[in-house]
Structure 1
Amino acid sequence: MKTIVHKSETRGHANHGWLNTYHTFSFANYYDPNRMHFGALRVLNDDTVAGGMGFGKHPHDNMEIISIPLSGDLEHEDSMGNVKVIKEGDVQIMSAGTGVFHSEKNKNHDKEVKFLQIWIFPKEKNITPQYDQISLNIEDRHNKLQQIVSPFKNETGVTINQEAWFHMTNLDEGKNIEYHLKKENSGVYVFVLEGEITINSENLSQRDGMGIYDTNSFTLQANTNASVLLMEIPMNF
């Protein structure tokens, strides 16, 4: 098993007042040639948006864009005609394909919205843009893996244009869980949302990340109550 660790304090950071954002990989004014991507995972942004504020309409193409709210309500509008609100427990995917415009803003004026925005390189380019959104029962990830993203429409989770599977889990202190990779030559990027965990003798704390590859499985142990996102993606694409 091979690993790469990204401690939370090594991430890129920008505070624009209305937006406080951390970048695990190179993005906007943060550039590190050693932090361009992990396999097909290109962007992992940890965003906090002030009340009533947001990102104006802007374009994307040929990228799989996943939004995972952590708290608050995020309002989305796009050129496909979708006007949606996503909140904690929801997962949203936008396959930008040949091109799409969208905007995102904090629906509430009296509290922040916190969310992850994740970009994945697509399996097929120039597809017709697509949108998908689901609401999940957070209790279904208590001490087990809850699948939230899949490449197949008949599986649990939003459908993505890439051979990628995302899971979330909320573990009680002392619990451990084993992850078995679904595809050979895939890797898994583990991102700790809350708490502390150990993988392969490496201790990870809140907002630390670890890329794992050249293995078929690994065990994640919770040193405290912990919330974790696991993203399995192709290493070669």
Structure 2
Amino acid sequence: MIELRKADQRGRGEHGWLSSRHTFSFANYYDPKQIGFSDLLVINDDRVAPGRGFGKHPHRDMEIFSYVLEGGLEHKDSMGTGSVIVPGDVQLMSAGTGVAHSEFNHSAEQPVHFLQIWIAPNVKGAQPRYQQKNIADAEKRGKLRLILSPDGAAESLELRQDARVYAGRFDGAESATIALDANRYAYVHVARGSVKVNGVELGEGDGARIRSERELTFTDGHDAEVLVFDLRNIEVSELWS
């Protein structure tokens, strides 16, 4: 079963320097029907004005990763990490016992467009850590490249949760299929362009909750870039029970 979440149904945050779209409830946007999916709690689609950004603020017990689509995102944190994240980079910050960070547009002239995504960890009170890796476009072209996993398989970043995240690029005749175990959920987010998933068309910003599907086939892409989340078959309410 594929349950669509259309781009124009997302929450909106307009703050002058920041234009944000919230797939799930976040900050001032709250919808009791949209409080995440399995361990996936946040997908924020953010566009930040030149020279602006998120000042230093704390997190704990959350797996937070950023995926830059355009521009450069400057990261600094209380672990002493500093970097500029550009398209192709995957940045994962495991907040654990607590970490403070800031994220700013690195450019004084061009906006930055990125996704920030939160996944609930399977352990609390762990040591904070930071990981970053560049995934070449060729590794995602016409395929689904594993970028996060519980065990760091296939040179992916290591996630503290039973979840796997894949990134793919599809255009024209390019296609790929991913198998899902019978007891798994999945979520698809289209970061840009459009693509069909099992024959269902998704456009830029669209998402889909997926249950009871044994495989997902991506076809008919038009400059599409997608993220695919392979998740536990639990509902969000079970996380807090």
TM range (shorter): over 0.9
Say if 2:143 and 2:175, in contact at 8 Å, map to a contact too: no
Task: Measure how far apart 1:70 and its partner are.
Answer: 0.6
Counterpart for residue 207 of structure 1? 205
Compute the TM-score of the two structures, normalised by the length of structure 2: 0.93
SS in 2 for 1:17: coil
Counterpart for residue 35 of structure 1? 34
CA deviation string 1:60-111 (max 9, x = no partner): 0111001001111111111111111111000000111111111110111010
Counterpart for residue 131 of structure 1? 130
Counterpart for residue 106 of structure 1? 105
CA deviation string 1:96-139 (max 9, x = no partner): 11111111101110100110000001011111111100111111
Counterpart for residue 226 of structure 1? 224
| Structural RMSD (CA) | 1.4
Quote the Cα distance in structure 1 between the aligned partners of 2:187 and 2:3.
Answer: 9
Quote the Cα distance in structure 2 between the aligned partners of 1:184 and 1:79.
Answer: 41
Quote the Cα distance in structure 1 between the aligned partners of 2:60 and 2:182.
Answer: 28
Task: Measure how far apart 1:228 and its partner are.
Answer: 1.4
Task: Measure how far apart 1:184 and its partner are.
Answer: 4.8
The worse-fitting range, judged by mean Cα deviation, of 226-235 and 42-51 is 226-235
Quote the Cα distance in structure 2 between the aligned partners of 1:118 and 1:156.
Answer: 20
Say if 1:174 and 1:224, in contact at 8 Å, map to a contact too: no
Quote the Cα distance in structure 2 between the aligned partners of 1:159 and 1:197.
Answer: 28
Percent same amino acid among aligned pairs? Answer: 42
Quote the Cα distance in structure 2 between the aligned partners of 1:132 and 1:29.
Answer: 29
The size of the alignment, in residue pairs, is 235
Letter in 2 for 1:122: P
Say if 2:165 and 2:229, in contact at 8 Å, map to a contact too: yes
Counterpart for residue 55 of structure 2? 56
CA deviation string 1:153-194 (max 9, x = no partner): 34322111011111111112233321112x553221111122
Segments of 5+ residues of structure 1 without an aligned counterpart are: none
Task: Measure how far apart 1:223 and its partner are.
Answer: 4.7
Quote the Cα distance in structure 1 between the aligned partners of 2:100 and 2:193.
Answer: 36
Letter in 1 for 2:189: F
SS in 1 for 2:121: coil
Write out aligned runs for 1:18-97 (5 A): 18-97=17-96
Quote the Cα distance in structure 2 between the aligned partners of 1:125 and 1:229.
Answer: 26
Segments of 5+ residues of structure 2 without an aligned counterpart are: none
Letter in 1 for 2:157: V
Query: Cα distance 1:178–1:119, how it changes in 2: closer, same or farther (>3 A)?
Result: same
Query: Cα distance 1:122–1:17, how it changes in 2: closer, same or farther (>3 A)?
Result: same
